[in-house]
């Protein structure tokens, strides 16, 4: 069966151009970048080229980019690395209730070590409250970490306003921008971001490669100890092919950003309007203003989202009932809880996340399938 893939917030397909650039770094240019001979040096050179491309996408200096094994490692490094570095200065970190598990669980593990964490509430649309953020800051606060865009409901936070508050109080600001980078404009200088996490597999590069941006001059305890790679900031022989792939994906993302956003917004808005027109009892979760271009999260009343997903799978459709990380659990995701959804509404949520490979015809097939499945599931219940 033809697969209709609508789960690009969970992962994306490696693009052809990305794969093509990577291949020779498995088979011909397989040297260790730390080695002195030619194939080692050329791998090193290719890494530095890729670093420049990543830096250009978010407008930072190449030396401010550290390659990691993905978004989760970048998040862990930022949270734990700053906590350990600044523990003599303070033990308080502010984050939000709707962060990715990589942030939430990093904070939980710091709590066990005596750190105090404030998890900010969000409103119905998924925004944090800037006044509450200001109120929660103490003279022990060392870090504010707020995601740029949410992976489940697509809400984009007012990053510039958050960074302004952090700066005024002389507190470091980290953002998990894994869903934002490549999907909306991100400029770390203009937005006042001190640290930023991004991941390859959410932007058509492979899984297991990511990057952490750390503004020049900011010190943190490194997360992986070992050799001198990445200027002593992240040990381990570099994932050369992955890095090359990430660089290429960032280059494409930068070149295509505007048309990418328009294409995804069109698919998203068409999908939402078709569902609202053709299916009764639906609720759009999140907000239409400041929403990721490719994200649509809709609750179907009196429907079990998991059951709906299984039926969609029978029709070759890949979607998510919230976050892939919480799939399998039948309890509503922490994000849908945080925006105040009743359990019954949260359980009926389906997240659709588009890529440029999706077409209007794909959306028609999706909506038609949803109409049939929702009707039959509602009749059974």
Ligand X SMILES: *Cc1c(COP(=O)(O)O)cnc(C)c1O
Rounded to a whole number of angstroms, the minimum distance from the CB of residue 202 to ligand X is 6
Query: Among residues 102 and 303, whose Cβ is nearest to ligand X?
Result: 102
Answer for the pair 246, 67: CB distance below 8 angstroms, yes or no.
yes
- Residue whose tokens read 């390859």: 200
Q: Is residue 297 involved in binding ligand X (CB under 6 A)?
A: no
Burial (0-12, 13-18, 19+ Cβ within 10 Å), 135: exposed
Token pair, residue 342, equals 């009743």
User: Judged by CB under 6 A, does residue 239 bind ligand X?
Assistant: no
Q: Which of 31, 70, 206, 294 binds ligand X (CB under 6 A)?
A: 70
Who contacts 192 (Cβ-Cβ below 8 Å, separation ≥6)?
Answer: 159, 160, 163, 164, 166, 167, 173
Q: Is 291 among the residues that bind ligand X (CB under 6 A)?
A: no
102 binds ligand X (CB under 6 A): yes
Beta strands in 130-269 (DSSP E): 141-145, 172-176, 195-199, 210-214
Shortest reach from residue 142's CB to ligand X, in Å: 21
Candidates 8, 12, 95, 151: give the one binding ligand X (CB under 6 A).
151
Report the residue from 31, 71, 182, 247 that binds ligand X according to the rule CB under 6 A: 71
CA atoms within 13 A on the CB side of 67: 29
| 325 is known as an active-site residue | yes
Shortest Cβ distance from residue 42 to ligand X (Å)?
27
Q: For residue 147, state whether it binds ligand X (rule: CB under 6 A).
A: yes
Closest CA to 179 of 238, 94, 105, 264: 264
Q: Is 31 in the site for ligand X (CB under 6 A)?
A: no
Which position's Cβ is nearest ligand X? Answer: 71
Question: How many residues sit in the footprint of ligand X (CB under 6 A)?
Answer: 15
The answer to whether residue 76 forms part of the interface with ligand X (CB under 6 A) is no
* Element of type H or E holding 352: strand 349-353
Pick the piece of the chain touching ligand X (CB under 6 A) from 65-73, 82-90, 126-134, 333-341. Answer: 65-73
Residue pair 142/171 in contact (Cβ under 8 Å)? The answer is: yes
**Binding site residues, ligand X, CB under 6 A:** 70-72, 75, 100, 102, 147, 151, 176, 178-179, 199, 201-202, 210
């Amino acid at each position: 069966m033809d697969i209709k893939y609508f789960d690009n917030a969970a992962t994306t397909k490696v693009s052809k151009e990305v794969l093509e650039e990577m291949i020779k770094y498995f088979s011909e240019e397989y040297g260790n970048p730390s080695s002195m001979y030619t194939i080692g040096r050329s791998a090193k050179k290719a890494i530095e080229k890729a670093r420049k491309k990543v830096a250009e996408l978010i407008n930072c200096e190449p030396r401010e980019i550290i390659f990691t094994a993905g978004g989760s490692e970048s998040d862990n490094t930022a949270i734990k690395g700053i906590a350990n570095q600044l523990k003599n200065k303070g033990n308080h970190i502010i984050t939000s209730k709707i962060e990715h598990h990589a942030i939430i669980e990093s904070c939980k593990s710091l709590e066990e070590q005596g750190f105090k964490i404030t998890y900010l509430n969000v409103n119905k649309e998924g925004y944090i409250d800037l006044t509450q953020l200001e109120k929660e800051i103490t003279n022990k606060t060392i870090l504010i970490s707020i995601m740029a865009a949410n992976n489940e409901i697509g809400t984009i936070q007012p990053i510039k306003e958050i960074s302004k508050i952090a700066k005024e109080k002389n507190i470091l600001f980290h953002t998990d921008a894994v869903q934002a980078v490549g999907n909306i404009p991100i400029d770390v200088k203009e937005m006042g971001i001190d640290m930023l996490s991004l991941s390859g597999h959410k932007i058509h590069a492979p899984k297991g490669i990511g990057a952490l941006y750390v503004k020049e001059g900011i010190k943190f305890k490194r997360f992986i100890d070992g050799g001198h790679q990445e200027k002593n900031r992240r040990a381990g022989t570099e994932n050369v092919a992955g890095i090359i792939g990430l660089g290429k994906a960032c280059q494409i993302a930068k070149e295509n950003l505007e048309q990418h956003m328009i294409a995804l917004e069109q698919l998203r808005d068409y999908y939402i309007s078709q569902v609202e027109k053709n299916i009764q009892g639906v609720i759009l979760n999140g907000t239409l203003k400041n929403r990721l271009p490719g994200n649509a999260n809709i609750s179907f009343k009196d429907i079990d989202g998991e059951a709906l997903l299984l039926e969609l799978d029978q029709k070759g459709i890949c979607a998510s009932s919230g976050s892939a990380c919480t799939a399998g659990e039948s309890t509503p995701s922490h994000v849908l809880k945080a925006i105040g959804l009743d359990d019954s509404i949260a359980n009926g949520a389906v997240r659709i996340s588009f890529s440029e490979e999706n077409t209007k015809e794909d959306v028609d097939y999706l909506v038609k399938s949803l109409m049939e499945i929702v009707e039959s599931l509602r009749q059974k219940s």
